[in-house]
């Protein structure tokens, strides 16, 4: 089977004291290997919530989530950490780099938690940073880089472990048009090389690059399960 992600009847509610806030109200979809899926929808519709669950940072309140045929929605937290480390690369709107580490160390981080030797780590991280065009900035701190460069570091960190899926939650949201376009090209290239990508975006132009668009409104998929 080529489906990498299989989500069925997924619900997510947030409890805030006595009030329950529904974020996802029963979502079903399948994503196949090699797809580039754009997730769109109005603010507050549940896109980030969905991404967090797909990225194993959060668990659904109800429903089933299979990643690579493994039932992730029922896994223990320790196992989820391992899935995050090995199968998932996450890129955020706000980059989320560690400010006191240089970019080489930032990219090495997932490899460290994977238990690789220092030598292997540095070697792999350098290679990936080279792929995103930052091999001349290895010792720089994130604060010494432009937004576009920081996002490239984040992409390098996301792909350094060679994950099953790459998740990006509005990766161009904090960037100007030209560096946003650069970042999108990198994602397109990664997709061309066979990587599966799921990206949240508000930009219809971005969505055009995707192989499929999933629209979410009020925690439900509107249409376009198959585009």
Site string for another protein, 89-128 (x = CB under 8 A): -x-x---xxx-xx-------xx-xxxx-------------
Q: How far is CA 209 from the centre of its chain?
A: 17
Residue 14 found at the interface with ligand ATP (CB under 6 A):
yes
Q: How far is CA 71 from CA 61, 149, 166, 197, in A?
A: 14, 36, 19, 20
Look at residue 44 and give the partner it binds from another protein, ligand ATP, Mg ion, none, a contact being a CB closer than 5 to 8 Å depending on partner kind: ligand ATP
Look at residue 180 and give the partner it binds from ligand ATP, Mg ion, another protein, none, a contact being a CB closer than 5 to 8 Å depending on partner kind: none
Q: How far is CA 175 from CA 113, 157, 159, 206, in A?
A: 29, 18, 20, 13
Which residue in the set 5, 23, 31, 221 belongs to the binding site for ligand ATP (CB under 6 A)?
A: 23
Residues 6+ apart with CB under 8 A from 116: 124
Phi and psi (nearest 5°) for 156?
A: -60, -45
Specify whether the CB–CB gap between 207 and 39 falls below 8 A.
no
Residue 220 found at the interface with another protein (CB under 8 A):
no
d(CA 140, CA 63): 44
If the CB atoms of residues 17 and 99 are measured against ligand ATP, the closer one turns out to be 17
Residue 16 found at the interface with ligand ATP (CB under 6 A):
yes
Site string for Mg ion, 40-69 (x = CB under 5 A): --------x---------------------
Residue 224 found at the interface with ligand ATP (CB under 6 A):
no
d(CA 157, CA 116): 15
Phi and psi (nearest 5°) for 78?
A: -65, -40
Q: Which residues bind ligand ATP (CB under 6 A)?
A: 14, 16, 21, 23, 41, 43-49
Q: Which residues bind another protein (CB under 8 A)?
A: 52, 55, 57-58, 77-78, 81-82, 84-86, 90, 92, 96-98, 100-101, 109-110, 112-115, 157, 161
């Amino acid at each position: 089977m080529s489906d990498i992600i299989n989500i069925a009847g997924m619900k997510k509610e947030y409890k805030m004291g006595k009030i329950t806030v529904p974020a996802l109200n029963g979502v079903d979809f399948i994503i196949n290997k090699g797809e580039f899926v754009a997730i769109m929808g109005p603010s507050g519709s549940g896109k980030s919530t969905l991404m967090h669950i797909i990225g194993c940072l959060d668990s659904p309140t109800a429903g089933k989530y299979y990643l690579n045929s493994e039932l992730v929605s029922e896994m223990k937290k320790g196992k989820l950490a391992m899935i995050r480390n090995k199968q998932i690369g996450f890129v955020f709107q706000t980059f989320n780099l560690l400010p006191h580490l240089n970019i080489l160390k930032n990219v090495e981080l997932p490899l460290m938690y994977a238990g690789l030797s220092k030598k292997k780590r540095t070697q792999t991280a350098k290679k990936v940073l080279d792929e995103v065009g930052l091999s001349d900035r290895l010792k720089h701190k994130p604060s010494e880089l432009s937004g576009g460069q920081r996002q490239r570091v984040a992409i390098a960190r996301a792909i350094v472990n060679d994950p099953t899926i790459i998740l990006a939650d509005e990766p161009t949201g904090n960037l100007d048009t030209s560096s946003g376009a650069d970042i999108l090209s990198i994602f397109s290239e990664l997709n061309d090389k066979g990587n599966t990508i799921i990206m949240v975006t508000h930009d219809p132009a971005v969505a055009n690059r995707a192989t499929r668009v999933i629209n979410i409104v009020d925690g439900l998929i509107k249409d376009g399960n198959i585009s």
